[in-house]
Amino acid sequence: MMVKKRNIKKQRYKTNARLIKSLLVLRGVKLVDLAKEFGITKQYLWYVIHGRRKGERIRKKIAQFLGMPYDQLWGE
C-alpha cells in the first residue's frame, strides 16, 4: 500500500526580500551580524525576510535599521 503525500502549502507573508537583501549587501551587513544585533538566530532572520515567519517585531527592526518605511519593505 502506498502512502499518498499531501500537498500542503505553508503560509507565506508578503515581503520584498530582494530589496532587503540588496540594501544589506550595499551596507556590507551580513545576516549573521544583523541576527546577533537583534538577538535572534540567522535562520529566523532569514525566515522573516523571505516571508516564512511573520516576526512583526523583527520586521520593524529591519525597517528601522535600513531606514526604510515599513510599508515599502513589507507591502502592508
2: in domain = no
Domain that holds residue 59: 17-74
What lies within 8 Å, CB to CB, of 21 at 6+ separation is 49
Residue pLDDT, tens place only, 1-21:
566 666 666 666 777 889 999
62: in domain = yes
Number of domains in the chain: 1
* Helices 31-38/42-49 angle, 10° precision: 100
Residue pLDDT, tens place only, 11-67:
667 778 899 999 999 999 999 999 999 999 999 999 999 988 989 999 999 999 999
* pLDDT for position 5: 66
5: in domain = no
3: in domain = no
Q: How many CB atoms lie within 10 A of CB 42?
A: 14
Indicate which CATH number applies to the domain containing 61.
Answer: 1.10.260
The predicted model scores a pTM of: 0.79
